[in-house]
Amino acid sequence: MTCPHAPEVPPESASVVSVLFVDDEPLLGQTFTRAVTSERPAWDVVTAMGVEEARTVLRTRRFHAVVSDITMPGANGLSLLSYVRERHPETLRVVHSGVVLDYAEHEELLLADLVFAKPVMPSEIVRAIDLLLMPPERPPSSRRIPPSR
């Protein structure tokens, strides 16, 4: 059975998880990339400095997950989630933002599969992505045991 959130055509190979990290703060992108690749060396992390840059990357690549801030110059992260949902519905959509509570009643926040309020440790995001990308467990064998006579 295939994972519902794994891209149909993975960017590198089925064993490499690819993540697009979108935030207008360069230090956060560097910190996230360093933390994730030290914890999951096989993961491919790409950073984008805003929604427009992320859309440009998404036109040429597919990702298992997109992790985005909400408030950035130009378009906000929620518009990116909408874009990802329309064009790459199998991609996990993750919000990490310091203004999550300000958007708690906005319907657009429901576009996210995961929501984290800043500050959040990258390892928490990694664990959550791991869990959502994990193939579902197979149910126990359904083979029947014939009744005893």
Q: What is the CATH number of the domain that holds 65?
A: 3.40.50.2300
Task: Say if 57 falls within a structural domain.
Answer: yes
The predicted-structure confidence for 110-143, as pLDDT tens digits, reads as follows 788 988 888 889 999 999 998 888 876 655 555 4
What confidence tens digit (pLDDT) does each residue in 32-83 have?
A: 999 999 999 999 999 999 999 999 999 999 999 999 998 888 888 889 999 9
Would residue 108 count as lying in a domain?
A: yes
The pLDDT score that the predictor gives to residue 109 is 66
CB 96 within 8 A of CB 67: yes
In a domain, 140, yes or no: no
Q: Using CB atoms within 10 Å of the CB of residue 148, give its burial: 0 to 12 exposed, 13 to 18 middle, 19+ buried.
A: exposed
3-17, 77-91, 100-114, 131-145: least confidently modelled range: 3-17
C-beta separation of 126 from 89 below 8 A: no
Token output for 147 = 């009744």
Answer yes or no: is 43 within a domain. Answer: yes
Structural domain includes residue 85: yes
Tell me whether residue 124 is in a domain: yes
Domain that holds residue 43: 18-132
**Is 107 domain-assigned?**
yes
Q: Give the Cα separation of 48 and 6 in Å (integer).
A: 21
Report the alpha-carbon angle 19-84-89, nearest 5: 95
Number of domains observed in the structure of the chain: 1
Position 89 confidence tier, pLDDT thresholds 50, 70, 90: very high
Q: Identify the residue with better confidence: 2 or 14.
A: 14
pLDDT band of residue 4 (cuts 50, 70, 90) is very low
Confidence (pTM): 0.78
Residue 44 lies in a domain: yes
pLDDT the model gives residue 6: 37
Tokens linked to 50: 């805003």
Q: What is the pLDDT of residue 145?
A: 47
